[in-house]
Amino acid sequence: MKLWITRPMTLAVEARAAAEFDVEIRPTTTPLSEDEMVRALQEYDVVVPTLGDLFSADVFAKVPEPRCKLLANFGVGYNHIDVEAARALGIAVTNTPGAVTDATADIAMTLLLSTARRAGEGERLVRADNWQGWHPTQMLGHHVTGKRVGIVGMGRIGQAIARRCHFGFGMHVAYQSRSAKQLDFEAEYIPDLLALAASVDFLVLAVPGGAETRHLINAAVLEAMNSSAILVNIARGEVVDETALISALQAGQIAGAGLDVYEFEPAVPKALREMQNVTLLPHLGTATEEVRTGMGHMALDNVTAFVAGRDLPNPV
């Protein structure tokens, strides 16, 4: 059984992989090229891909009889893999749910607070040595405690964000999802996205990527939001129509945005980079040593089960 891991991992994960499998770890951090993906399907029994490795139907079509029988994805999101095309060739796909929940929710709160309280703008002011001292109207931002937050998508991550907002900041939580949820805290279910957007001070996106959610946040949703509202995206970049977002920010339709993901990442439009009311992070959602190690071990747990002929712990 030959295993290929497509990115460098934490030391603990790499050590386990080397000890348990016949593994090759690709040393570069960039996404796989199409030629590399074809080779992955042809030359390895198991591949651990991750975000940016676009295993599309076209890629699978180039290898009608693949050696690879498992794509053990490193990450909870798997919209970069055409799962149906993989299954048609007998390739299973797994992911790493649960391991990412709290870290991603923490980043959502980081973006919400940083954007509302103008923390990024303030830090840039201090670093540029342009701060002239405290005064009563200096850099007035948006109060967070007790405000109304809307969560789009109420899965594991959405609920973790909502709990932080409700219990930590006394916020009034509303949410939109496919159906109402049984929750251990008070939250209002609003099935209509436009109605939710119009009723909240903060709109936080926590939906999976893919065709169903592409440009879910479009010009109509942004127009429905209050001019004092802030958008936070820790989901996938393509969930937001980036052109519409830039227009809404430039026109003052919304007050700001906190973004950890981008429609065409790693490319971030100059217009967004130049706006002081936008907080920009380089996809840090799960970026802690503990979480990335946990994700790696979960991916390898799927590999271990596959090699042993057992049921996969995390099939998608």
Q: How does pLDDT run across 129-180, given as a tens digit for each residue?
A: 999 999 999 999 999 999 999 999 999 999 999 999 999 999 999 999 999 9
Which DSSP string do the residues of 50-68 spell out, in sequence order? BTT--B-HHHHHT-SS-S-
Q: What angle do CA 157, 158, 159 make, to 5 degrees?
A: 90
User: In the chain, where does the domain assigned CATH 3.40.50.720 lie?
Assistant: 2-99+288-308, 101-280
List of residues 6+ apart from 108 with CB closer than 8 A? 157, 161, 164, 204, 206, 232, 234
Please give the CATH number for the structural domain made up of 101-280: 3.40.50.720
Rounded distance, CA 206 to CA 188, Å?
Answer: 16
Q: Look-up: residue for tokens 């996809």?
A: 283
Q: How does pLDDT run across 57-75, given as a tens digit for each residue?
A: 999 999 999 999 999 999 9
Amino acid at residue number 138: Q
Coil, strand, or helix at residue 203?
strand
Confidence of residue 223 (pLDDT cuts 50, 70, 90): very high
Q: Please tell me the predicted confidence (pLDDT) of residue 256.
A: 98
Q: Please tell me the predicted confidence (pLDDT) of residue 22.
A: 98
Averaged pLDDT, 107-112: 98
Q: Which residues are catalytic?
A: 236, 265, 283
Q: Please tell me the predicted confidence (pLDDT) of residue 135.
A: 97
Confidence of residue 292 (pLDDT cuts 50, 70, 90): very high
Q: Please tell me the predicted confidence (pLDDT) of residue 205.
A: 98
- For residue 243, give both structure tokens: 């052109």
The pLDDT > 70 percentage for the chain reads: 100
Average pLDDT, the chain: 97
Task: Point out which residues pair with 11 in neighbouring strands.
Answer: none
Query: CA-CA-CA-CA torsion for 249, 260, 209, 66, nearest 10 degrees?
Result: 140
Q: Which CATH architecture has domain 2-99+288-308?
A: 3-Layer(aba) Sandwich (3.40)
Q: Please tell me the predicted confidence (pLDDT) of residue 47.
A: 98
Averaged pLDDT, 279-304: 97
Which DSSP string do the residues of 80-132 spell out, in sequence order? TB-HHHHHHTT-EEE---STTHHHHHHHHHHHHHHHHTTHHHHHHHHHTT---
- For residue 267, give both structure tokens: 């490319």
Q: How does pLDDT run across 169-208, given as a tens digit for each residue?
A: 999 999 999 999 999 999 999 999 999 999 999 999 999 9
